[in-house]
Structures are given as structure tokens and as C-alpha cells.
Amino acid sequence: MASAFRRKIKRTIPAVVVVAIAILASAGTHLSAHDIPVSVLVQAFVRPQGDHLRLLVRVPLASMRDIQFPLRGDGLLDMTRVDGALDEAATLWLARDITVYEEDTPVAAPRVTAVRVSLPSDRSFVTYDTALAHVMGPPLPAETTVYAGQAMLDVLLEYPIRSDRSRFAVRPALARLGVHVVTVLRYQPPAGAERAFELAGDPGLVRLDPRWHQAAWRFVQLGFRHILDGTDHLLFLLCLVIPFRKFRALVAIVTAFTIAHSITLLASAFDIAPDALWFPPLVETLIATSILYMALENIVVELGQLLVLAILVPALQALFRFVVPERIGTIVLSALVAHTAWHWTAERWERLRQFDLPSITADGLASGVRWLMAAVVVATVLWVVAVAAAKRKKDEEFGT
């Protein structure tokens, strides 16, 4: 009896597994319509003016979940009936989650002054003035063809304030818009230069007019968080530790890196760094490329370099001796390398052209000169540290 029962259970288990998989699959299909976006970029401008503070916000419409946007029969947004849903999305997902503080006191809830749909190709959020004119301008024509998952939501919020000369802060609780939410916020005080903030997730209270000790404390917090949470920095330090395992040599190299990093931070603080949206991704790409280069360099220097030379030198000698003359062979091989490098250059240039690159102006040239001067300073510091490290290593080898 017991063996028959066990056989019955064994025959039942596969059927139960199949049913469970089918239920999970159908549940996943049902929930796909409400998937949380993986990456969301929020663009915002803040400007106090008179007795009100204006907040311009642009977010992807796809991050406005649980809002029934009216669609046409072909799945496109129905531009003639979308206004009510846009107002609801702006209120539920933005106005309720962005709190403005005046002199450490929360101000009243904002008024949704304007809201509209924009095409993903729209570039009006480059400056405050163009963004404001765009949001306050006429809506898209009724015949516009755009899917809800591709459109952008532009909103103008107005907060009542006592004076535009007060110190302001903002608490953007926008992490629920997606898995990874980055808010690029630009603050324009009545007097002074524009200040740019890049905020991840829910950053808490962000002071737009911080006092010196508040700014210093926030820099300390961001510095520790940036290093401990930044995988790129940890990998960079790991690549430094691998070839230089002596503490004295590491101190010199890390000090040089810290000085160079501090120079770039000071350049950003004094508004010398470019403020275009393509600049941060470019820097992140260069950081990743530098880490990859250091890792590959460690491999090549320690293991691969001798092997490559051992193969290439005899091969080239045999090629130039038995196949083609040395000069002709040099020209042919160099042409092949140049051909490959040309294709690489063309591919990378096409990728770079997708961004709105800055035009050459007098201010741009002046900024370029300042960056060149900073690069010379960084290069000088690195050279001095490298010479000192080489001398110290030589002294250690000879025991002096």
C-alpha cells in the first residue's frame, strides 16, 4: 500500500510542477503591463522669482504607472483626450513627491500650472527659458503619432514663497519612478551662476543654497558613499594594488589620483567644467575605459608582453627576409593597421555625433584653455610622483 502511494505521488509531482509553472508564467504576463522602468532620467529646473518658485520637470511618461492614458485604436496616444490623465499623473507622481523648503520650513503644496506631452526628440530642456516657453506653449497637434512608452511628460509646478532671496531646499522623493532614478536638477538663483545637482533615487533634503559647513558635511557624506558604493573606484584601487603591493608606492600613486580628482572637483565647483548633459556619461565612459586599460596593462606587462614579442619578432624577421622586402612589408602592415583604426574612428565618431555637441564659441575656447591648464597641472603632478616612485624603488633595490 505504501509503495503504491509513493508511486502515485511521483506521478502527481510532474503535473503539479507544470501547473505551477503555467501559473507563474501567466502571472508574469499579467504583471508585465505594470513593470517598473529600469532606468529613469528626470530633468528639472528650479527658479525662485518674486512670490513664487517655479519647478520645471521632464519625466518619461512610461514611469507614470497605474495611470490610464487614453489610446487610439492603433495603440497611439489620443492627443484629444489626454489632458485629464496628464494632470492626474503630474499630481500623483510629481506634485505630491517634491517638497520645497524655504528657510528650513516646508512651503505649501504646489499648483500644477502647465502640463503637456512632448516627443522624445524634443530638445527644449537644454535651458530654463526654452523649457518654460515649451511647456507654456501650444500642445502637440491632435494628429501627432507617439506611443505612451516613448513620450515625455513636461510639467510646470509653482510653489508660493515669501521672497526669492530666501535660502531654499528641495526633497525629491522620486525613487518610485523606476529601479534606478537619476534627477539632473539645475537651480537658478536670482543672483549668481546656475548650480547643477545630480541626485540618485531619494537623496533626502538637498540644500540649494547651503552654508559652508552644510556643503562641507554633504561633500564628506558623498565622498564616503561615492567610494564605498562606487564599484569603479574599488576596481581602480584593486588595479593599483595588483602591481604595486608596497604601501609606500601605493601612497604616492593614490595621493596623485586624489590630487587629480580634487582638481576636477574644484573645476566643477567654479563652473569651469562643461555643463552639457553628454559630459557626465562621457566621464563615466572614460573611467570605465581607464579601469579596463589598467587591468589589461597589468596582464600584458606581467604575462603577455614577452609572449607577444617572442612571436612577432621572429615572424616579422622571417616575413621581411623570405617574403617581401622590409620597407614594402612595413608599408603594407602599417596600411592594414591604419585601415582598421580608421573604421574604429568612424564608428566611434558616429556614436559621438548622436549627442548635441557644443558649438565653438569664445567662452568655449576659454573653458578649453582652462581645462588644458588643469590637465597640464595634473600631468605635472603625476610626472613628479612617478619620478619620485621610480627613485624610491631604485633606492630600495640598491639598499640605499
Q: What average pLDDT does the segment 105-119 reach?
A: 95
Map grid coordinates 502637440 to a residue: 140
* Sheet bearing 206-207, strands edge to edge: 105-106, 98-102, 168-172, 206-207
pTM of the model: 0.54
Question: What is the residue-wise DSSP string for 168-218?
Answer: EEEEE--GGG-SEEEEEEEE--SSS--EEEEEES----EESS--HHHHHHH
The residue extents of the domains of the chain are 36-210, 231-323+358-398
Contact of 35 with 66, CB cutoff 8 Å: no
Higher pLDDT, 183 or 306: 183
Model pLDDT for residues 369-391, shown as the tens digit of each residue: 777 777 777 777 777 777 776 77
With bands split at pLDDT 50, 70 and 90, how would you rate the model's confidence at 33?
Answer: very low
Q: What average pLDDT does the segment 147-169 reach?
A: 93
Model pLDDT for residues 255-311, shown as the tens digit of each residue: 776 676 667 666 666 666 666 666 667 777 777 777 777 677 666 666 666 676 677
Model pLDDT for residues 355-364, shown as the tens digit of each residue: 665 566 666 6
Residues 6+ apart with CB under 8 A from 170: 46, 98, 99, 100, 101, 185, 205, 206, 208
Q: Distance (Å, rounded) from C-alpha 128 to C-alpha 88? A: 24
User: What is the crossing angle of helices 231-241 and 279-299, to 10°?
Assistant: 30
